[in-house]
Amino acid sequence: MSAPDTVDLTPLARPFDLDSDVAYRTWRSRKLAAAPLSAGELLVPIADGQDLSAMELDAMHGALARTNLVIYQLPGSRGADKVTIRQLGRQFGLERLDDNLCADEDSITSLTVVEKRSEGEYIPYTNKRLNWHTDGYYNPLDRQIRAVILHCVQPAAQGGENAFLDHEMAYIALRDRDPALIRALMAPDAMTIPANVQNGRQIRPEQSGPVFSVDRAGHLHMRYSARTRNVVWKDDAATRAAAEALLNLFRSDSPFILRHRLKSGQGVLTNNVLHCRTAFEDDAQRDQTRLLYRARYYDRVIDLRKQ
Ligand SMILES: [Fe+2]
Q: pLDDT (tens digit, 9 = 90+) per residue, 227-238?
A: 988 899 999 999
Provide the 3-class DSSP secondary structure of residue 16.
coil
138 in Cβ contact with 38 (< 8 Å): no
294 CA to middle of ligand 1, Å? 9
What pLDDT digit, counting tens, does each position of 169-185 carry?
A: 999 999 999 999 999 99
pLDDT at 261: 98
Query: Closest Cα partner for 168 from 283, 34, 4, 266?
Result: 34
Which domains are delineated in the chain?
20-306 (3.60.130.10)
Q: What is the pTM of this model?
A: 0.91
pLDDT at 104: 58
Residues within 5 A (CB) of ion ligand 1: 135
First to last CA, the chain: 25
Provide the 3-class DSSP secondary structure of residue 95.
coil
Provide the 3-class DSSP secondary structure of residue 53.
coil
242 in Cβ contact with 249 (< 8 Å): no
26 CA to middle of ligand 1, Å? 31
130 CA to middle of ligand 1, Å? 8
Q: What distance lies between CA 220 and its chain's CA centroid?
A: 12
Full DSSP string of 161-229: -EEEE-HHHHHHHHHHH-HHHHHHHTSTTSEEEPPEEETTEEEE--EEE-SEEE-TTS-EEE--B--ST
Residues of the chain with pLDDT under 70: 1-12, 77-79, 100-105, 115-124
